Amino acid sequence: MSVRDQELERTIGAVAGYDKRIHLIKVPTPVQIFEVVRGEVRGRLQSKRACDFIGWIKGGRAVYIEAKSTRSKALKWRLDERLRSYQLPWLHEAAAQGCICAVYVRSPDSDYLVPVTIHGLPSPALSIDWEILEPYKLPPGRSFVDALLDRAGVVSLWEDYIVNGWGGIIPAQSLHQSSESQVQSVV
């Protein structure tokens, strides 16, 4: 696992640690260790892992998040190359059963919370233009949990988020005020 991937997983874990609207746990990579020699571990994967984080939001709805990072911003983001062959079908099946399923993507300049079932794309979409992901870019001052529940943790926002991204759940004025207050708090 790269340093960027480790940093991304720490970010997701930290948000889930302080935001009481969500409970997430990191799913450990199932590895059988054969030996440790001078700090070098030798082993093999024992089984497949569906995603990096599992949990639930307030109210009891299941949440599955896969974390990915990328160093480049090519024209398209290739889900089929970034997810293991069994992950995307598993996440689509869980989403069809009513679970919240997303891929948290960290690009060189932004973070995105991408639903595995983006409205208007074939299911499963294997290659996505960054332009299509733009509505799912985390705005300044917002946490990925804000895409799931309202601030009080009462109203589920996920269905509107899947269709319209942040624009479906946060009025433009609210986004503007959020970035202004963030700048003021830094000054």
Q: For the chain, what percent of residues have pLDDT higher than 70? A: 75
The answer to whether residue 187 scores a pLDDT higher than 70 is no
Q: What is the dihedral of CA 172, 14, 50, 165, to 10 degrees?
A: 0
What is the average pLDDT across 105-134?
A: 73
Q: What rounded mean pLDDT belongs to the chain?
A: 76
- For 49-101, write each residue's pLDDT tens digit: 778 888 998 888 899 998 888 777 665 666 656 777 778 788 888 988 989 99
- For 142-164, write each residue's pLDDT tens digit: 888 888 887 777 777 888 888 88
DSSP string, 146-159: GGTB-TTS-SB-HH
Domains of the chain by residue range: 3-186
Burial tier of 66 (Cβ tally within 10 Å: 0-12, 13-18, 19+): buried
d(CA 78, CA 65): 17
When comparing pLDDT for 43 and 1, which is higher? Answer: 43
User: Could you tell me which CATH class the domain 3-186 is placed in?
Assistant: alpha beta
Q: Model's pTM, two decimal places?
A: 0.73
Whole-angstrom distance between the N-terminal and C-terminal Cα of the chain?
A: 36
d(CA 183, CA 187): 6
